[in-house]
A = this chain, B = another copy of it.
Amino acid sequence: MGINERKEREKEVLQKSILTAAREVFLEKGFDQTSIRSIAQKIEYSPTTIYLYYKDKDAILFALHSEGFQLLASKMEVLNLVENPLERIKAMGRVYIRFAMEHPDYYDLMFVQKSPMNKLDEDHEVWQEGMSTFDGLKFSVQQCMEQGYLPFNDVEAGSYLLWATLHGMCNLYDRGRCKVLDEEKSEQIVDLAFAEFLKMLDAFGR
């Protein structure tokens, strides 16, 4: 009989509407203001109902974190069109920074907050979302090394270095550490620093 299946579907609907509400609160009010109670209020259920569909708050944040990676991956798709691996890495950097600037909350959840990572530790799972994205970078770095565009010894270490450079620029900016510069310059520092970054990369691009 299809009753159980109908119920299954109904459960899925509520699970998804919880996630939708969580996303709305998260994007409107930010990480700190995303509480179980505020999500519950949005879907007009009691706070405890949420625990029947998600193990805890971290599970919800992990789901949102995964959404962020899907969004980033979609932005990265255009990079397949770039033939030259060094140019592809440069373009990746532009996409990455643009993503961090346009979706600072998603970015924070994906690369800074500890909450979503707790879920992995509990379930002894691997960080698929992060690994897939990093694989994309590694692929291009590998090509660059083979073609003499980059002087790294180790693909993973080199990829991590490039990633960290962009992450550092975005994170310091997001966390207000650009205050080491005057206000005018603060606003454009990420773009300025990225320009210097490209300069360094080009020094090897023969």
List A residues at the B interface (Cβ < 8 Å).
Answer: 111-114, 117, 120, 126-127, 130-131, 133-134, 151-154, 156-158, 160-161, 163-169, 171-172, 175-181, 185, 189, 192-193, 195-197, 199-200, 203-204
Contacts and interface: CB of A to CB of B under 8 A. Distances in A.
Given A134-B180, A165-B164, A179-B130, A153 B199 contact: yes
Contacts of A176: 114, 117
Would you list the 8 A-B pairs with minimal beta carbon distance, nearest first? A168-B168, A164-B168, A157-B192, A134-B180, A167-B168, A127-B179, A164-B169, A161-B193
28 contacts: A113-B175, A117-B177, A117-B179, A134-B180, A153-B195, A153-B199, A157-B192, A157-B193, A157-B195, A160-B169, A160-B172, A160-B180, A160-B181, A160-B192, A161-B169, A161-B197, A161-B200, A163-B168, A164-B165, A164-B167, A164-B171, A164-B172, A165-B165, A167-B168, A168-B168, A168-B171, A171-B171, A203-B204
A177 B120 contact: no
A117 B165 contact: no
A98 B138 CA distance: 26
Q: Tell me the number of copies of this protein.
A: 2
A126 to B, nearest CB: 7
A89 B204 CA distance: 21
Contacts of A134: 180
Contact of A126 (B130, B158, B179): B179
A149 to B, nearest CB: 12
Contacts of A167: 164, 168, 171-172
The A interface is mostly helix, strand or loop, or mixed, namely: helix
Given A114-B176, A203-B151, A156 B168 contact: no
Given A154-B192, A185-B156, A111 B172 contact: yes
